[in-house]
Chain A
Amino acid sequence: MTIKSSGIPFFILMFQLIIPAVINQFGIVSAQQFINKGLLRAQGNISSGVMFKSPGTNIYLHGDLEYYLEPGISIRSESYYFLSTFNGEPAFSKNHSNFAGVMYHFKTNGKLDPYVGIQPGIALTQLSKPVLLSADTASWSPYTVSSYPVNFSPLFSASAGFNFYAYKFFNLFVHLKYVTGKHLSDIQPESLNEIKLTFGLGWNIWLIKNKLKVSENNNQE
């Protein structure tokens, strides 16, 4: 082993030891996959986003609602309500977005639910007026005369993440989303490309009666 010469094999070794321990401890592996047709989950949390061409980190209120149509397929609607930008001058004063699409859930033997998905979306966006241009002394430019209109902008998004269904009514999750689009107004266009990250606590219930028994059995195990 080359543990002393490099940190990477050491981390691999640690993961080899830690992951099975976590799996055993928290019952991630069981006889049956937790997710199934009829499961409804939702969450409301704070999300952060980094835009590729604008400085700063965006903060959103993020809510989603997801329903499992089949064991490996769910439909998912998401809304991001833009709150603010920190660590940089905000490019947008409004950057709300809404998505609806499908998630593909990989087969596992337990409560862990990794997934990937695609969601078309639409954004309601408005550029921030640059602070310097608010002074009367600012020279004429497109940025001084623009009305800074609010626009709807089509978006494409791809997501990946996982849910961990820890208990009958709640889950822990991490959700990563790549968004691409462009805000077009009456001045230079602005890219809407962004990576958004949300994690936290989600809620879930079974909407189909026979699936409730499955979930109860899983929790008893």
Chain B
Amino acid sequence: MRTPNILLFFFLFSVHLFAQEKNNSLIVPAAKIGEESAMDNKNKSGEGGQFSLGMRNTISAFGASGYNGLGYGGQFRIRFAKKLNTEWYADWITTDLGGLGKREDGHIGWSVMFYPLSQSPEKGKFSPYLLAGHCFDYTKVSTNWTSFLPDSKHRLSTAVQMGLGANYMLGEKTDVSLSAQYMSHLGNEIETEKKTSEISGEKYLVINQEKSTLGLEGHLLITLSINFIIADLKK
């Protein structure tokens, strides 16, 4: 369970050390020249080529079930140009269906991020962006034990998403990003319906799945992520 994060940590800082070692070999003794070199690097940092890695929390809201879910995941970003970035992500989101069941969503996808303002990613600055992309999804809906036997259904689907976001540079290589995207899933429909037993008055959940028909189902994803630039692919 703990292995992935520990591996991620070691990967992050070993790449960072490697990059540091590479930079140290190029350091010129004169402090002034070093400062100029740092300034050059800062100016070039917005021109593309940065590879960053990060973690994320996602809130899934305004879905068909009417309940909000919380997700955990990670992403990497490859910046192609000053105004163009890409994000490749994976999320695992769980949603409590009113105490009567749960919904689990797995997302693997990518987004293109477009920065309309020509602003370099410098420490202490906000960079707003538009983003859009698509992803592949796994959804499983399960009901809890009540007087009725539990049930579960699942599906695979594909989705498109689009939204707005902004990142704030905490440091020269670290940013915090907040984005909101509307995601529309194309797949066979899984619907949940809350019912009340006429005999006992107990509430329970019924899952309906139409395997033969395709439908669209949307939800809003609000994502808070932390990203670390760990390599410059253009160097």
**Chain A interface (Cβ within 8 Å of chain B)?**
37-38, 40, 65, 67, 69-70, 72-73, 75, 77, 79, 96, 98-102, 104, 118-122, 124, 142, 145-146, 152-156, 180-182, 184-189, 207-208
Contact = CB atoms under 8 A, between A and B. Distances in A.
Contacts of B171: 69-70, 72-73
Contact of A181 (B4, B70, B102): B70
B99 A69 contact: no
Given A70-B172, A77-B9, A98-B1, A184 B16 contact: no
Nearest to A75: B12
A96 B12 CA distance: 23
A186 B150 contact: yes
B126 interface: no
User: Which residue, of B12, B13, B173, has the highest number of chain A Cβ atoms within 10 A?
Assistant: B13
A100 B2 contact: no
A80 B220 CA distance: 31
Contacts of B172: 70
22 contacts: A65-B6, A67-B16, A69-B13, A69-B16, A79-B5, A98-B4, A99-B5, A100-B9, A101-B226, A118-B226, A119-B55, A120-B55, A120-B73, A122-B92, A154-B94, A155-B72, A180-B70, A186-B150, A187-B145, A188-B144, A189-B99, A208-B17
B170 A102 contact: yes
Interface string B1-23: 11011101100110011001000
B174 A73 contact: yes
A111 B57 CA distance: 32
Contacts of B146: 142
A69 B17 CA distance: 9
Contacts of B6: 65, 77, 79
A98 B2 contact: yes
B142 interface: yes
Chain A facing B: main interface SS: strand
B210 interface: no
Contacts of B144: 142, 185-188
A122 B94 CA distance: 11
Given A70-B172, A75-B13, A77-B8, A154 B57 contact: yes
A154 B174 contact: no
Interface of B: 1-2, 4-6, 8-9, 12-13, 16-17, 20, 55-57, 70-73, 92-94, 96, 99, 102, 142, 144-146, 150, 170-174, 176, 224, 226, 228
Contacts, number: 115
Nearest to B91: A154
Contacts of A101: 55, 226
A-B residue pairs, 5 tightest by C-beta: A154-B72, A142-B145, A184-B102, A73-B171, A70-B171
A96 B56 CA distance: 19
B228 A69 contact: yes
Contact of B70 (A118, A152, A154): A154
Given A70-B174, A187-B144, A153 B94 contact: yes
Contact of B94 (A69, A96, A182): A182
Contacts of B228: 69, 75, 102
Nearest to A64: B9
Contacts of B174: 69-70, 73, 102
A181 to B, nearest CB: 6
Contacts of A182: 70, 94, 96
